[in-house]
């Protein structure tokens, strides 16, 4: 593997966009380059296996996250949203499983909404490299969180006990804290930070077909205690929406980074084939695919940046933008890589190869953090919603489950 892979991601993909993304030159580009250089060094030390059953991968991924923390590069909380998006593009360029390598991830929910005691307890640990998981999805369907059945009852000592089943949970065995969504005793959707060592948590790992870097599967909660300090402040549905408005652009950028890496590998192979005389000239169909894929990936990234900046500014349409730009950007990455794969022939199809892994990881991202038809539909419904008194579309937000 090229030892300067992430640094190239900045030069090839981000530098040309720099005047557009950062016209005032305010972004800390040297920090982004330092991140890329450090990632290259860390991946050389902790190579992430690409085969289909990579249980050992999470050790390498955790080691990379911890080393990034030690070198001061994990923490994106003091950076603008643009930086966090570009940092995740660079991570994805190395490996889409690095989707949790910078920032607080789902721990941002704790940093923004937890009690002071819970923030003091968890945030420094997350910034030192520990991981937060999120437990929203249930067997009835993740696209309908309003139908959550996991529920708390009030115990004799006044604390809550939560019981229920969460499905398809990533970071199942690696997270040190889960942000769990459940019904409070009064019936409202609520969220709480739950210590992963709670004895009432039971796990059933399932091997995923993609994003296999972290353990994944069922998380059962059996009378898990929730103390008042564990409960996040605010309505659960609003917390979920605000969080994913910020989180989805990061995931989209990670996916597009992975697709950009495939683009560069495929174009390098095509160029090599031509220069070494393997083919007299490149076919027009291949050239069309390459040209279209580049446009797809660049516009996907611009969409993710736009969504991240709307979320950062608190724009009322930020949730809608992040939802559709996640679906659109990852659909584009998925299509571009589907079209690019055959251009390198069977050499790209080996199970332990990076290209096949990128395809598998993108396949997983069609579901993780929101299944796409559901995201497009929710946005379409908002665009066409009418008020009782006005024939014009309503600009406000509708429930995720609508």
Ligand X SMILES: Cc1cc2nc3c(=O)[nH]c(=O)nc-3n(C[C@H](O)[C@H](O)[C@H](O)COP(=O)(O)OP(=O)(O)OC[C@H]3O[C@@H](n4cnc5c(N)ncnc54)[C@H](O)[C@@H]3O)c2cc1C
Residues in contact with ligand X by CB under 6 A are 133-137, 141-143, 168-170, 208, 211, 216, 364, 367-368, 370-371, 373-374
**Is the Cβ of residue 76 or residue 374 nearer to ligand X in the bound state?**
374
**Is the Cβ of residue 136 or residue 397 nearer to ligand X in the bound state?**
136
**Is the Cβ of residue 12 or residue 218 nearer to ligand X in the bound state?**
218
CB of 67 to ligand X, least distance (A): 23
**Is the Cβ of residue 52 or residue 80 nearer to ligand X in the bound state?**
52
Do 168 and 141 contact (CB within 8 A), yes or no? no
Spatial distance between the Cα atoms of 186 and 152, rounded to a whole number of angstroms: 9
How many other C-beta atoms lie within 10 A of the C-beta of residue 78?
A: 7
**Is the Cβ of residue 171 or residue 293 nearer to ligand X in the bound state?**
171
Q: In terms of DSSP bridges, do strands 132-135 and 177-183 run parallel, antiparallel, or are they unpaired?
A: parallel
In a 13 Å sphere around the CA of 337, the CA atoms on its Cβ side amount to: 27
CB of 395 to ligand X, least distance (A): 24
CB of 33 to ligand X, least distance (A): 30
CB of 141 to ligand X, least distance (A): 3
CB of 213 to ligand X, least distance (A): 10
CB of 134 to ligand X, least distance (A): 5
Residue nearest to ligand X (CB): 142
CB of 28 to ligand X, least distance (A): 30
**Is the Cβ of residue 122 or residue 367 nearer to ligand X in the bound state?**
367
286: its two tokens? 């291949």
CB of 215 to ligand X, least distance (A): 10
191: its two tokens? 């969220």
Q: In terms of DSSP bridges, do strands 160-170 and 216-226 run parallel, antiparallel, or are they unpaired?
A: antiparallel
**Is the Cβ of residue 104 or residue 169 nearer to ligand X in the bound state?**
169
**Is the Cβ of residue 258 or residue 370 nearer to ligand X in the bound state?**
370
């Amino acid at each position: 593997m090229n030892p300067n892979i992430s640094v190239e991601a900045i030069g090839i993909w981000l530098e040309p966009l720099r005047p557009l993304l950062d016209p005032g030159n305010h972004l800390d580009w040297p920090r982004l380059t330092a991140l890329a250089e450090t990632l290259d060094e860390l991946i050389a030390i902790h190579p992430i296996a690409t085969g289909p059953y990579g249980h050992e991968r999470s050790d390498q991924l955790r080691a990379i996250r911890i080393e990034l923390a030690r070198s001061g590069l994990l923490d994106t909380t003091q950076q603008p949203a643009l930086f966090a998006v570009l940092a995740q593009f660079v991570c994805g360029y190395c490996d889409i499983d690095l989707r949790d390598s910078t920032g607080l991830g789902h721990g941002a929910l704790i940093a923004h909404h937890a009690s002071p005691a819970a923030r003091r307890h968890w945030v420094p640990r997350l910034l030192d490299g520990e991981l937060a998981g999120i437990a929203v999805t249930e067997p009835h369907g993740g696209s309908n969180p309003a139908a959550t059945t996991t529920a708390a009852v009030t115990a004799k000592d006044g604390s809550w006990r939560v019981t229920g089943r969460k499905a398809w949970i990533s970071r199942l065995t690696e997270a040190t804290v889960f942000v769990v969504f459940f019904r409070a005793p009064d019936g409202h959707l609520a969220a709480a930070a739950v210590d992963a060592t709670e004895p009432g948590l039971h796990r059933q790992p399932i091997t995923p077909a993609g994003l296999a870097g972290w353990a994944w599967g069922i998380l059962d909660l059996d009378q898990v205690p929730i103390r008042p300090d564990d409960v996040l402040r605010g309505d659960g549905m609003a917390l979920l929406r605000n969080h994913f408005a910020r989180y989805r652009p990061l995931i989209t950028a990670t996916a597009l980074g992975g697709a950009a890496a495939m683009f560069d590998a495929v174009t390098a192979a095509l160029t090599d084939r031509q220069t070494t005389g393997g083919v007299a000239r490149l076919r027009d169909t291949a050239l069309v695919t390459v040209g279209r894929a580049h446009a797809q990936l660049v516009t996907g990234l611009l969409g993710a940046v736009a969504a991240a900046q709307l979320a950062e500014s608190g724009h009322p349409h930020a949730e809608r933008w992040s939802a559709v730009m996640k679906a659109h950007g990852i659909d584009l990455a998925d299509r571009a890589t589907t079209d690019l794969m055959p251009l390198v022939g069977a050499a790209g199809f080996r199970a332990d190869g990076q290209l096949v892994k990128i395809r598998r990881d993108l396949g997983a991202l069609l579901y993780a953090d929101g299944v796409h038809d559901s995201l497009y539909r929710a946005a379409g419904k908002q665009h066409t919603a009418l008020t009782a008194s006005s024939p014009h579309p309503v600009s406000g937000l509708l429930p995720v489950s609508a």
